Amino acid sequence: MARSTTSMKKKSYTRYSDAYRQEALALADRISVAAAARELGIHSSQLYQWRSKVQQQQDTSERERSLAEENARLKRQLAEANEELAITKKAAVYFAKSLK
């Protein structure tokens, strides 16, 4: 039996703005996720996904901030070491000239 090729309906997806997502998550925090999902007319799994994504972004931001702080500390340490090395080289040249 051959399948007939009929046009299949495509699912349309709704894209929500970031402000809407933030407000929806705030509502879910005030009341339960299930109640917020019913009130907004969306699936509760959608709210859980949005919450997970926000938490992941916050974790990434914290990691980036700590790496930036460590990077700044290491740059300062390298600059100090380079300065000490330059002073040592100048002292070695000075004492080498005085020995002649």
Geometric angle at alpha carbon 40, from 35 and 41, rounded to 5°: 95
Query: Alpha helices, DSSP H only, in 13-43?
Result: 18-30, 33-40
* The total number of structural domains that make up the chain: 1
Give residue 34's domain range.
Answer: 18-99
- Coil, helix or strand for 20? helix
Q: Determine, yes or no, domain membership for 6.
A: no
Please check whether residue 53 lies inside any domain of the structure: yes
In a domain, 1, yes or no: no
Local confidence pLDDT in tens for the 100 residues of the chain: 344 445 566 777 888 898 999 999 999 999 999 999 999 999 999 999 999 999 888 888 888 989 999 999 999 999 999 999 999 999 999 888 877 6
Question: How many whole angstroms separate alpha carbon 34 and alpha carbon 32?
Answer: 5
For residue 7, the model assigns a pLDDT of 54
Is residue 7 assigned to a domain?
Answer: no
pTM (two decimals): 0.54
